[in-house]
Structure 1
Amino acid sequence: MKNLIKTLKNIWSIEELRSKILYTLILIFIYRVGTHIVLPGIDPTALGQVAKQASGGILGLIDTFAGGAFSQASIFALGIMPYISASIFIQLMTVLVPQFQKMQKEGESGRKKINQWTRYLTVGVTVVQASAYVAYLKQITAQSGGVMPGYADYFWLSTVVTLTAGCLFVMWLGEKITDKGLGNGTSLIIMIGILARLPQSFLQELTNKSVRSGQILVFIIEIAVLIAIILGCILLVQGTRKIPVNYAKQIVGNRQFGGARQFLPIKVNSAGVMPIIFAQAIMFLPTLFNLTSLAKTETGQGINRIFTDHTNVWYMTIYAVVVIGFTFLYTALIFNPKQISDNLKQNNGFVPGVKPGQPTADYIGAIMDKVTLPGAFLLALVGILPGIAQLLGVTAGFSTFYGGTSLLIMVAVILDTLQQIETQLLMRQYDGLMKSGRIQGRTVTQASY
């Protein structure tokens, strides 16, 4: 406890770090206030229908990322999701389209161009999603009269404009947190939205267990298991396989360059949380059968039962297979062994015992496949843990923190934030946050969250 107080004093004594923390907290507070401001023309008493409909599937995922704003029909209902979608699309384009690859290699100017394209695409995606959200609101509030009659004629236009402006404002908040705050602004906004649901889910689980005799011990065991799962996720996020790389010595004049031995880190989970996000979107598609005549048949009803019940064995099996497949696919898109081999060759680097060029690329690719395999299985296990927890008696809300997108994002973002704080401490010759070693975050692109 004494060391903790000392560390907090050290953090507060650094003016730059103190201002970054306060700036970040103020912007996060503004975001959380905005999530409770209801859209113009909506009757707040009818929001129960929205919350009920947004409790699962892809709508539940959007509501999670939006910090509950989606189910509350707030001005930030779409949250940062349109920006994430645009970022993912642009990131894939930098891998697949030569023009975007060229921009990426132009350094700072290329990065600014890519960011500008991402913003333009965000506006288009937001307008489309906002229009769909208006239709969604009108459909689920038709019986309860959620839209005020006197405002019905202007509702579509005002809502699309408000949601688009709200999304761009949240995007601006994320960029400001990245520039002047603790960094990783978009990820921090998502994490805060997820954590906002934790107190209510925790109290709901505690209440559920306390009303029955002998269940408090079960609740304590659940908390212990949750802590163990968090520790396992930390290992999954930080786990790396280091490939030794030597650099040839060069003598220029009287000075010697190179000759050092470094390591190329291959992460166990290079794809981050993206495979789980993709898998959740794919698993939602079969439920669209409800919109067709097939929904009335026995086959359609069976498909709907499987893909809407997260505790179903078939759902978890299919979900795990999809996560594993997307892990390999996304890793192959973002990780290019040939490019790494060429970069090593250009910088006079080589892997000991492996010839430069294509043999090095094959060697790195083989190591990547071996490391990705257990990482993909562990990621699939994390993805289905909420369903398993719910089967074992954990309430639906609290079970989401036992794995899946919520837990991975929280672990990764918290590690990144702690690493930022520790770096500031070490730069000023203070002790780090831990005596046993440095906190390792993750070095990922902005779209990997």
Structure 2
Amino acid sequence: MLSTLRDAWKIPDLRKKIIFTLIMLFIYRLGSFISVPYIDTTVLAQYIQDGGMLGFYDIFSGGNFSNFTIFAMSITPYINASIIMNLLTFAIPALERLSKEGEEGRKKLAQYTRYLTVVLALVQALGLTLTFQQIMTEKTWFTVTLAVITITAGTAFLMWLGEQITENGVGNGISLIIFVSIISRLPGGIKGLFEYVQVGTLNIFSLVVFVAFAVIVIIGVIAVQEGQRRIPVQYSKRVVGRKMYGGQSTHIPLKVNMSGVIPVIFASSITMFPATLANFFPNSGIANWIVKYFGWGTTITTIMYLVLIIAFTFFYTAITFNPIEIAGNLKKNGGFIPGIRPGRPTTEYINKSVTKLTLFGGVFLAAVAIIPIILGNVMNINLQFGGTSLLIVVGVALETVKQLEAQMMMRHYDGFLK
């Protein structure tokens, strides 16, 4: 990775892209210190310290939520809008046709995603402001309206910032914003570990074991993220006019983890929702019962978390990967899998292969997400969101390096022609 960055820095065009990306990310972090007017963050910090969905939300916002800055909602509304549009693309025929119209169709879908992002941001900002009215120093229609508009504008600006990085910088802008948000909390996490050592909660031996285990998990995440099964494909020879086409061999790359970290995010939100909602009613008997048995880290929620991760892995893979369409394209272009008849048998073979990979990927995601919870309970330290953060950080880093390598390869293509 370091060698790739060093080589990319030597290329003037890529160096400009890297500098542009760093400037945009610096602007994002600069905005993380601009607080929303009329907000008292000390009360909000008490809710976030209790963990639950608010703590999870604060990690992905890079601390912007706990400080209630202009980027308090981070890029979450855009992510939600993108997921909703992906789901609607498979459910609404008009959007599906639009997605197959090439660049123009993708531009229209991107525009619809932006509109939906602003709507979701406005609704979510209004909900946050009304829910946390007690953290406002002045409760008037003007202060509420100002807070809602400020937070919504912050999210819209972040969306624009991410798109600028994607178009003019290096890597996926939205992913890099989340990456920087998580990385910005790393110094505080390291400081927390040393504080555990100082107070005696964690001894030196346990710290060394924890670090070694973290390195092993990172290696495992990289291996699974990069892992794929290649299904061989052979194309028949055909004569068109005086030319012969086909006859070459290729493969269909099936990633071990097709769904990425999305199943973990979905499962986390659903698992933590009951306890988070109950925290708003501290004097209620039912709420206390929910927190006791459905709080984060309990046996019930851990089992729910595991099952939901695997279930969402299958669900998201099913809506983003279509074996029928792939088998149809192979048949139409004269391709076939050796030993498998074209048509329905090919569909069943691909579907069976994807099911096995999805099961392994889902179990792996669940293991990475749950192991920090188990370690946290055993060592009595707070590691509840380590797995999710680790998956995102490693995934974004690998994808960014791949894009850099691809752009470097494009700029050195002339060497292959000599």
TM-score between both structures, scaled by the size of structure 1: 0.86
Which one-letter code corresponds to 2:37 in the other structure? P
Which one-letter code corresponds to 1:49 in the other structure? V
Alignment partner of 2:123 out of 124, 128, 131: 128
What does the per-residue CA deviation read over 1:24-63, in whole Å, with 9 as the maximum and x for residues that have no partner? 0000000011111100222xxx312212312422222221
Cα distance in 2, alignment partners of residues 48 and 365 from structure 1: 52
162 and 217 in structure 1: CA distance in 2 versus 1, 3 angstrom threshold:
same
Residue in 2 that maps onto 1:229: 217
Identical residues among aligned pairs (%): 42
1:418 aligns with 2:413: no
Which one-letter code corresponds to 2:407 in the other structure? Q
Residue in 2 that maps onto 1:169: 157
Which residues in structure 2 correspond to 1:344-423 (within 5 Å)?
Answer: 344-393=330-379, 395-396=381-382, 398=383, 400-401=385-386, 403=387, 405-423=388-406
How far did residue 153 of structure 1 move? Answer: 4.1
Cα distance in 1, alignment partners of residues 199 and 54 from structure 2: 31
CA RMSD after TM alignment: 2.3
Which one-letter code corresponds to 2:404 in the other structure? I
Contact 2:272 2:296 in 1 (8 A): no
Contact 1:236 1:269 in 2 (8 A): yes
What does the per-residue CA deviation read over 1:322-368, in whole Å, with 9 as the maximum and x for residues that have no partner? 11111111111111111111111122111111111111111111111
Cα distance in 2, alignment partners of residues 295 and 226 from structure 1: 40
Which residues in structure 2 correspond to 1:49-448 (within 5 Å)?
Answer: 49-55=43-49, 56-139=51-134, 141=135, 147-149=136-138, 152-212=140-200, 215-287=203-275, 288=277, 295-297=284-286, 301-310=288-297, 312-393=298-379, 395-396=381-382, 398=383, 400-401=385-386, 403=387, 405-429=388-412
Which one-letter code corresponds to 1:283 in the other structure? T
Contact 2:310 2:363 in 1 (8 A): yes
Cα distance in 1, alignment partners of residues 35 and 202 from structure 2: 42
Structure 2 gap segments, 5+ residues each: 414-418
103 and 314 in structure 1: CA distance in 2 versus 1, 3 angstrom threshold:
same
Contact 1:237 1:269 in 2 (8 A): yes
Cα distance in 1, alignment partners of residues 200 and 269 from structure 2: 37
1:12 aligns with 2:12: no
What does the per-residue CA deviation read over 1:201-232, in whole Å, with 9 as the maximum and x for residues that have no partner? 11110232145499223222211111111111
Which one-letter code corresponds to 1:344 in the other structure? L
Contact 2:267 2:308 in 1 (8 A): yes
122 and 8 in structure 1: CA distance in 2 versus 1, 3 angstrom threshold:
closer
Residue in 2 that maps onto 1:441: none
Which one-letter code corresponds to 1:239 in the other structure? G
Contact 1:268 1:372 in 2 (8 A): yes
Residue in 2 that maps onto 1:28: 25
How far did residue 165 of structure 1 move? Answer: 0.8
Cα distance in 2, alignment partners of residues 292 and 400 from structure 1: 24
Give the SS at the match of 1:67: coil
293 and 400 in structure 1: CA distance in 2 versus 1, 3 angstrom threshold:
closer
Cα distance in 2, alignment partners of residues 307 and 84 from structure 1: 27
What does the per-residue CA deviation read over 1:347-406, in whole Å, with 9 as the maximum and x for residues that have no partner? 21111111111111111111111111121111111121221121232631x5533x1x21
Give the SS at the match of 1:71: helix
Cα distance in 2, alignment partners of residues 156 and 301 from structure 1: 30
Give the SS at the match of 2:231: strand
51 and 60 in structure 1: CA distance in 2 versus 1, 3 angstrom threshold:
same
Cα distance in 2, alignment partners of residues 426 and 359 from structure 1: 38
Moved more, 285-294 or 200-209: 285-294
Give the SS at the match of 2:64: coil
Moved more, 377-386 or 115-124: 377-386
How far did residue 256 of structure 1 move? Answer: 2.8
Contact 1:242 1:265 in 2 (8 A): yes
212 and 54 in structure 1: CA distance in 2 versus 1, 3 angstrom threshold:
closer
TM-score between both structures, scaled by the size of structure 2: 0.92
Cα distance in 2, alignment partners of residues 85 and 8 from structure 1: 32
How far did residue 20 of structure 1 move? Answer: 0.8
Contact 2:121 2:152 in 1 (8 A): yes
Moved more, 16-25 or 62-71: 62-71
Which one-letter code corresponds to 1:173 in the other structure? L
Contact 1:104 1:111 in 2 (8 A): yes
Moved more, 205-214 or 313-322: 205-214
161 and 382 in structure 1: CA distance in 2 versus 1, 3 angstrom threshold:
same
How far did residue 278 of structure 1 move? Answer: 1.2
Contact 1:210 1:216 in 2 (8 A): no
Contact 1:93 1:100 in 2 (8 A): yes
Residue in 2 that maps onto 1:446: none
